[in-house]
């Protein structure tokens, strides 16, 4: 069978990207592959795809492995957002409006123009049960703190960002993204669960319906079989056999219900599939915090995209919060979310 030209082109691009050498003709691709790539694709190091050799077709195992290799590393796009205006004053009113300190005193002591980086992580979810449901969720986060930035994923296109070409990305982006990615994935799970609410309810309704029908079926079957025991044509052996089948009905029904529970069991997979990273000019607000005899200085960020202060991250559980509780611990001030502040 002839291989599709677009699939041959895709294969050649994958080979080239991951260290192979590929030459594409009208109906085949010749390639030399590095050992690691050849093992990942389960192909020889010297291979020809198409033209009577290894066919490359939609749904073929070779194409599936090529797609898996191509999507193991999520695509990253780097850009910059230029804003026409940075707020000059009035930050004191934002303390208590954008961020509330429920304990201790917080006072703005200074401001400075700065530059920071944000990320919009795009994740794909797939829910598998008797049916399949899939979709995308997007989460915005501050790369430095890991705070989730509300509506960043919908607001950034309004600023018409410029994008850096590969090899020309400036070195100002955050290097350590562990917390930002972890918090974004946790938020993505919550968003995916919200989008799957109707799907989960639908599978639950169908499970309850089928379980109810199964119970009713076995109840009716039991009554029918018990009524047949009085039939005068039944031999003693047949009667004992019928009684044994009646006694086995509860176990058979339980097995049928267990099969239904497995049928409607929902498995959800969530994985990142792309990320947009932006450099943004912001205002850094210097805030002094006093709690009894202890003092501490922190930096807040006024975000020109959302036009408000970015939230903080709890220093115990790393949850994003706009309600901050200051607590004195080991002669220092910790900034906690309401949930952690309630814990002893």
pLDDT tens profile 230-271: 877 878 888 888 899 999 999 999 999 999 999 999 999 999
Residues contacting residue 65 through CB under 8 Å, at least 6 positions apart:
40, 41, 42
Predicted confidence (pLDDT) per residue in 215-241, tens digit: 999 999 999 988 888 877 878 888 888
- pLDDT of 75: 86
Torsion of CA 40, 75, 116, 325, to 10 degrees: -70
Res. 1: pLDDT tops 80: no
For helices 5-17 and 61-72, the axis angle rounded to 10 degrees is 40
Q: How far apart are CA 343 and CA 336, in angstroms?
A: 10
- pLDDT of 230: 81
- pLDDT of 302: 96
- pLDDT of 203: 95
Res. 155: pLDDT tops 90: yes
pTM: 0.77
Q: How far apart are CA 51 and CA 265, in angstroms?
A: 44
- C-alpha angle 29-32-37 in degrees, rounded to nearest 5: 105
Q: How far apart are CA 102 and CA 325, in angstroms?
A: 5
Structural domain boundaries in the chain: 5-73, 78-186+272-342, 198-265
Q: Are 115 and 172 a contacting pair, CB within 8 Å?
A: yes
Predicted confidence (pLDDT) per residue in 53-101, tens digit: 788 888 889 999 998 888 888 889 999 999 888 988 889 889 989 999 9
Q: How far apart are CA 307 and CA 284, in angstroms?
A: 13
Residue 280's Cβ-count burial label (10 Å; 0-12, 13-18, 19+) is buried
């Amino acid at each position: 069978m002839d291989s599709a030209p677009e699939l041959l082109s895709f294969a050649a691009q994958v080979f080239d990207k991951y260290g192979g050498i590929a030459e594409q003709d009208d109906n085949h691709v010749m390639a030399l592959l590095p050992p690691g790539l050849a093992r990942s694709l389960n192909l020889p190091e010297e291979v020809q795809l198409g033209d009577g050799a290894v066919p490359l077709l939609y749904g073929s195992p070779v194409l599936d492995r090529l797609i898996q290799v191509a999507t193991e590393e999520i695509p990253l796009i780097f850009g910059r957002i230029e804003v026409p205006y940075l707020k000059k004053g009035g930050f004191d009113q934002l303390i208590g409006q954008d961020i509330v300190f429920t304990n201790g005193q917080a006072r703005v002591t200074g401001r400075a123009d700065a530059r920071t980086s944000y990320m919009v992580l795009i994740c794909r979810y797939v829910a598998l049960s008797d049916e399949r449901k899939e979709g995308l969720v997007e989460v915005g986060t501050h790369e430095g703190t890991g705070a989730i930035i509300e509506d960043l994923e919908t607001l950034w296109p309004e600023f018409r960002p410029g994008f850096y070409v590969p090899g020309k990305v400036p070195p100002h982006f955050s290097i350590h993204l562990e917390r930002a990615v972890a918090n974004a994935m946790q938020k993505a799970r919550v968003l995916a669960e919200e989008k799957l609410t109707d799907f989960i309810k639908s599978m639950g309704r169908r499970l309850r319906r089928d379980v109810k029908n199964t119970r009713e079926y076995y109840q009716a079957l039991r009554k029918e079989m018990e009524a047949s025991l009085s039939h005068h044509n039944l031999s003693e052996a047949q009667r004992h056999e019928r009684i044994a089948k009646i006694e086995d009905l509860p176990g058979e029904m339980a097995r049928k219900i267990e099969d239904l529970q497995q049928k409607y069991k929902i498995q959800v997979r969530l994985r990142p599939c792309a990320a947009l990273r932006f450099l943004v000019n912001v205002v850094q607000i210097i805030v002094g915090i006093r709690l009894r005899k202890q003092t501490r200085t922190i930096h807040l960020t006024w975000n020109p995209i959302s036009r408000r202060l970015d939230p903080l991250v709890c220093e115990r559980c790393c949850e994003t919060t706009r309600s901050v509780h200051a607590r004195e611990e080991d002669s220092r001030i910790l900034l906690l979310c309401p949930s952690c502040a309630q814990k002893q």
